[in-house]
Amino acid sequence: MSGGAGVRITVDQGSAVPPYEQVRGQLAELIGTGRLAVGTRLPTVRRFAADLGLAVNTVARAYRELEAAGLLETRGRHGTFVAPGRDDAADRLQRMAAGYAAEAARLGVPPATALAMVRAALDAARPA
């Protein structure tokens, strides 16, 4: 399905990946690849939820997590926008994370397991 502002998101109700995570991951990928440019206004939570056939809280959670990650910003009653000021390294890392998440889902790896693998890899990469 789709939302406004050229946002094309699909939610697979049969997937092991929770709907909020599907929305969050797809929006993060669109932002990371530049298909959603800085300053793009996203649909309201209610509108996007209705367009996707999801509960309002599901979309709200995806928006909150993207805002916490610095990818979105909410400007009160003016709406939610793709945040400015991201750097190229964060964008590249976001694209890699989106690819990892898609591959984990394709392989049927549960999100908790995929996250544990990333945490272990990050711990191993830290200098002693």
- pLDDT digits (tens), the chain, 128 positions: 445 556 789 999 998 899 999 999 999 989 888 888 888 999 999 999 999 999 999 999 999 999 998 899 998 889 999 998 666 676 677 778 878 888 999 999 999 999 999 999 999 998 86
What are the structural domains, with CATH classification, of the chain?
19-82 (1.10.10.10), 89-125 (no CATH)
DSSP-derived letter for residue 2 is: B
Contacts for 102 with CB less than 8 Å, ≥ 6 apart: 25, 29
Q: pLDDT tens digits for 30-40?
A: 988 888 888 89
Q: How far is CA 88 from CA 33, 94, 98, 127, in A?
A: 11, 10, 15, 23
As to burial, measured by CB atoms within 10 angstroms (0-12 exposed, 13-18 middle, 19+ buried), residue 88 is exposed
pTM tops 0.75: no
